[in-house]
Chains A and B, each alone.
Chain A
Amino acid sequence: MNKKLITLLALLASTALMPLMAQGIMGGHVTGNIQMDGQISHRDTTIGASEVPEKLLMNARADILYTNGDFSAGLRFEAYQHPMLGFNSQYKGQGLANYFVSYKTQDFGITAGYYYEQFGNGMVLRAYEDRYLGLDNALLGFNVYYRPWDGVTFKGLVGKQRVYWNIGEGLVRGLDAEVSLNDVVKRWSEATTRVTLGGSFVSKYEEDESIASTIPGYKLNLPKNVGAGAVRMDLAHGGFGLQAEYAMKGQDPNIMNDYIYKNGNALWVSASYSQKGLSANLQAKRVDNMGYKSVRSQTGEMLYINYIPAINKEQTYAFLTMYPYATQSTGEMGLQGDFMYKFKKETLLGGKYGTDLHINSSIITALDTTYLGGRGTNGYESSYFGTGELYYGDLTVEIAKKLSNNVKFAFTYGYVVFNPIVEGHEGDLHHNNVLVGDVTWKLNKHNVLRFEAEWMGSDSQYDKEVDDKRCGDWIMGLVEYNFAKSWFVSASDQYCYNDGVGNYYNLSVGYNKGAMRLQVGYGKQREGLLCIGGVCRQVPASNGLTFSLTHSF
């Protein structure tokens, strides 16, 4: 291209942009973040790691957001060249995965393009993204909110969902209304009891398709429009709180429920109390046939319109996360209790610095159901308060105590009972007892040492046919050293010493500076499940190098 042409194009471009600049549209600011995760894994028959033909796998993304007053626009470029182990191979490729323009004020907002949204707890609609699960249910279309009066918010949306690099065929429409009664009713404005009510309606449209029934020559008469609705309340009075949401779904034969026509429903209730040094929470949940996707035949975690909140504690220690619970949207019943108490300083149990006690327990079962028929019938009946087989249970007791100005100690006892049926295969219940000791020693302002020791005793035994490498009794040690403001290095090893197989060591080193973080690790990864909020992803075994670079600007 010759210089004259370049000059002409630059002139034209600047002329075209001048009105925009005059309106201040070009005077906004740009923010963003970049993340690159990579992996090199070798074949390792001892842990079941396969050879990776590409040698290097990488997931990368860059989010760019432009903001100027009430206007914003953003885009996200993603590259999976090729997807890291455990991420769906349909992500393979690269391109613009998300883009939007948005205008938002206090009272009104509209977004065109890709957007995320949630109504209430998400039991009828939650479009969200979790990069670590490889999940992105973003909607492509329009999303609007409007606040006509103080304390009143209406939301409306229409769109189709992202599925890897494509857009699902199902069309999603939704409306949500939320009212804070204390803001709307004048005489309640000063009341100490605060009440918020909400309601949501969602409908999906999907074209007919041919799905065979169990009767030869006959097919299912599928509903094209499937609706779901929910009502919710949030009540607070002093330290007491009560939240509840009830959702219902119309006939929705789909691959998750094996194409039955039973209506779905779900109830979630949470009661809590808190005061200084004490908090207690009790949650209950009942879910019956509430898997709701915009494409009825879609398997896996993509294209969910809704989300069923998890009701068990999200554990952090390695052996307590070994058997995570995946929410069973087709049917489950659960109860969780959580209690935290701080023993005051200078008391018998509090000692010089006080002691924190945290007890959590949950139990989740199947529903009590009566079989009516298979595909093309109402499927089953369920007793509302009856329970079926045990899916999952846990008890965690944590005691955290500061021993001196520089040393903190935490002790955790955990008990987990796990039914392998939630992972899709029959088997005996696994009963695991876990002990964890965690010491943090602050050597000085910039140097911190942390030690962690874990033990897990389990009644599960390794069976070659099932090849569940989590079975058996385990020990683990971890040392982590943070030094020179920005660096950290850690070494850990998990070893199965009885009734199982596996020795998984890991070394990692990291560097943080400002908004940048770089981490490089080498070691073995045990196959298993990674679950966040009850949504899980299979993580295959690997042996090799991993690295991660993130930067925000």
Chain B
Amino acid sequence: MKKLFKIFAITLVGSLLFGACDKIEENEYVVFGGAAGTWYDGDGVADHSQRAFLEKYTGVRCTNCPKADDAIATAQAAYNGKLIAVAIHDSSVFTTPFVDSPDLRTDDGDAWSKALGVFSAGSYPAAIVSRTPATTGWDLFTPTSGIESRVDAIVNQPASIAIAVESKLEEGAVTIGVDLEFLQDVDGELTLTLLLMEDGIVATQVQPDGTRQTDYTHNHVLRDVITDLWGLDVEADGQTGTARFVQVKYDRYDEDWDLTKCHVVAFVSDKATKRVLNVAECEVQ
């Protein structure tokens, strides 16, 4: 009987280790999946620029993050609109907000951080340009240097898809219109992701010397991913010359956000590889 007890105990422990399953409550079977819209034939895009999309994973308790902010700001000025950056505060130990200071973390940013391996790498600041893969995993790097070579590799190529975005705030909702034009044949399924980011947020930030600066200005901070986290499906045949247009309405923003300082970023990416093919941004008008 002792043996039977041991067998039972081993089986029980094993089942706890191996038998993991998630239980979802009935009222949570469906969740908001992001704003979506209907695709129509479009008029094309005048600006055929190839732009790069830089995601900076950062935190208010990260000492080197202000250096990265400076380096990115310098690069953005140099690339004159061809480098679009977003600052993402995930749920690492570096992002815990200080008392009386705004919480800049988002669930969406945290999900991206985990999916791209930033969170598990645990090194901040970290960045990736246009979700470029490395030999294994993603081409994550510390954005205090090395930005230019990665951005050059993107923006010096001809664009396969041109993208333009415009937005307008009316009756409490932001109406966002995105135009795509295929400049080359593109295989595979594509997705369009829209996000909202805010400039000029004042929050405490640890500085490289270890001190806390309470009036640090945080720019291009991710506030929300407007669409689904991985975007909405692009309905297009992928043939050169095809132009498509989609309009999306967004009203799930927080009242504390200052929409006059917000930008909408739109990027189109390969659904399978998640690589960003092109990106555009506009102010919320």
Please determine whether B18 and A217 come into contact, CB atoms closer than 8 angstroms: no
Interface-lining segment among B31-39, B118-126, B237-245? B31-39
Return chain A residues, CB-CB under 8 Å to B10: 154, 177
Contact residues, A198-224 vs B (CB, 8 A): 199, 201-203, 205, 207-210, 212-213, 215-221, 223-224
B→A interface (CB under 8 Å): 1, 3-4, 7, 10-11, 14-15, 17-24, 26, 28-36, 111, 115, 228-230
- The answer, among B15, B33, B230, for a CB contact under 8 Å with A213, is B33
Q: Which of A201, A217, A251 contacts B19 (CB 8 A)?
A: A201
Q: Which residues of A, 151-170, contact B by the 8 Å Cβ criterion?
A: 152, 154, 156
Contact partners of A174 in chain B: CB under 8 A: 18
A261 touches B24 (CB 8 A): yes
Say whether A177 contacts B26, CB under 8 Å. no
Choose among A215, A251, A378 the residue that contacts B23 (Cβ–Cβ < 8 A). A251
Q: A218-B30, A220-B29, A221-B29 are in contact. List 17 more A-B contacts (CB 8 A).
A: A154-B10, A175-B14, A184-B3, A201-B15, A201-B19, A208-B111, A210-B228, A212-B33, A217-B35, A218-B31, A219-B30, A220-B30, A227-B20, A228-B21, A251-B23, A376-B29, A376-B30
How distant is B165 from chain A, measured CB to nearest CB, in Å? 20
Q: Is A303 an interface residue (CB 8 A)?
A: no
Given known contacts A174-B18, A229-B15, A261-B24, A218 and B32 CB-to-CB distance under 8 angstroms:
yes
A218 near B4 (CB under 8 angstroms)? no
Establish whether residues B230 and A154, one from each chain, have CB atoms under 8 Å apart when the complex forms. no
Q: Does A22 contact B (CB under 8 A)?
A: no
Partner of A210 from the list B3, B7, B20, B229 (CB cut-off 8 Å) is B229
Cβ of A385 under 8 Å from chain B: no
Q: Which residue of B lies closest to A199 (CB)?
A: B11
Contacts A175-B17, A203-B21, A261-B24 given; does A221 touch B31 at CB 8 Å? yes
- 27 cross-chain CB contacts under 8 A: A152-B7, A173-B18, A175-B11, A175-B17, A177-B7, A177-B11, A184-B4, A201-B18, A202-B19, A203-B20, A207-B115, A210-B229, A210-B230, A213-B33, A217-B33, A218-B31, A218-B32, A219-B228, A221-B24, A223-B22, A226-B22, A227-B20, A228-B21, A229-B15, A229-B19, A251-B22, A377-B29
Q: Is the CB of B11 within 8 A of A251?
A: no
Q: Name B18's contact: one of A149, A179, A203, A218 (CB within 8 Å).
A: A203
A56 to chain B, nearest CB (A): 29
Q: Is A225 an interface residue (CB 8 A)?
A: yes
Partner of A202, one of B18, B28, B34: B18
Specify which of A173, A184, A227, A377 is in contact with B7 (CB 8 Å cutoff).
Answer: A184
Which residues of A, 170-199, contact B by the 8 Å Cβ criterion? 173-175, 177, 179, 184-185, 199
Chain A minimum-CB-distance residue to B19: A201
Tell me whether A250 and B21 are in contact in the complex, defined as CB-CB below 8 angstroms, given that A156-B14, A177-B11, A378-B26 are known contacts.
Answer: yes
Q: Are A225 and B20 in contact (CB under 8 A)?
A: yes
**Contact partners of A223 in chain B: CB under 8 A:** 21-24
Residues of A within 8 A of B26 (CB): 261, 378
Measured between alpha carbons, how far is A45 from B21 in the docked complex, in Å? 52
Chain A to chain B: the 3 pairs with minimum beta-carbon distance, closest first: A219-B33, A227-B21, A201-B19
Contact with B along A104-137 (1 / 0, CB 8 A): 0000000000000000000000000000000000
Most buried by A among B23, B26, B34: B23
Of chain B, the residue at the smallest CB distance from A224 is: B22
List the B side residues contacting A184 at CB < 8 Å: 3-4, 7
Contact status A210-B14, CB under 8 Å: no
- Count A-side interface residues using an 8 Å CB cutoff: 42
Cβ distance A150 to chain B, nearest Cβ, rounded Å = 10
What is the CB-to-nearest-CB distance from B137 to chain A, in angstroms, rounded to a whole number?
Answer: 15
The closest CB in chain A to the CB of B32 belongs to A218
Complex-state Cα separation, A33 to B19, whole angstroms:
38
Task: Report the separation of the CA atoms of residues A216 and B36 in the bound assembly, to the nearest whole angstrom.
Answer: 8
Q: In the complex, what residue of chain B is closest to A378 when comparing beta carbons?
A: B26
In the complex, the answer to whether A201 meets B14 with C-beta atoms within 8 Å is yes
Across the interface, which residues of B come within 8 angstroms of A156, CB to CB? 14, 18
Residue of B nearest to A184 (CB): B3
B32 to chain A, nearest CB (A): 6
The distance in angstroms between the C-alpha atoms of A124 and B28, with both chains bound, is 26
| Contacting residue for B29 out of A149, A224, A261, CB 8 A | A261
Residue of A with least CB distance to B228? A210
Report Cα–Cα, A224/B30, bound state, in Å. Answer: 14
CB distance from B28 to the nearest CB of A (A): 5
Complex alpha-carbon distance, A111 and B18, angstroms? 18
Beta-carbon contact of A219 and B3 below 8 Å: no
Determine whether the beta carbon of A250 is less than 8 Å from that of B32: no
Q: How far is the CA of A308 from the CA of B21 in the complex (A)?
A: 21
Task: Name the distance in Å between B248's Cβ and chain A's nearest Cβ.
Answer: 10
The answer to whether A227 touches B19, judged by C-beta atoms less than 8 angstroms apart, is: yes
A175 partner, pick from B15, B23, B30, beta carbons under 8 A:
B15
Q: Which residue of B lies closest to A215 (CB)?
A: B30
Q: Which of B24, B30, B111 gathers most chain A CB within 10 Å? A: B30
| Residue numbers in A under 8 Å from B23 (CB-CB) | 223, 250-251
CA distance A251 to B23 in the complex (A): 7
> A203 and B32 in contact (CB under 8 A), knowing A179-B7, A185-B4, A219-B228?
no
* A42 nearest CB across to chain B (Å): 33
Task: Name the B residues within 8 Å of A216 (CB-CB).
Answer: 36
Task: Give complex CA distance A203, B23 in Å.
Answer: 13
Interface centre among B4, B17, B24, B33 (most CB of A within 10 A): B33
Q: Which residues of A contact B4 (CB under 8 A)?
A: 179, 184-185
Residues of A within 8 A of B34 (CB): 210, 217, 219
| B1, B18, B22 interface centre (most CB from chain A within 10 Å) | B18
The interface residues of chain A lying within 8 Å CB-to-CB of B229 are: 210
Cα separation A177 to B18 with both chains bound (whole Å): 12
- Give the chain A neighbours of B115 by CB distance below 8 A: 207
Residues of B with C-beta under 8 A to A205: 20
Pairwise interchain contact A203-B24, C-beta atoms closer than 8 A: no
Question: Measured between alpha carbons, how far is A212 from B230 in the docked complex, in Å?
Answer: 13
Cα(A36)–Cα(B24), bound, Å: 49
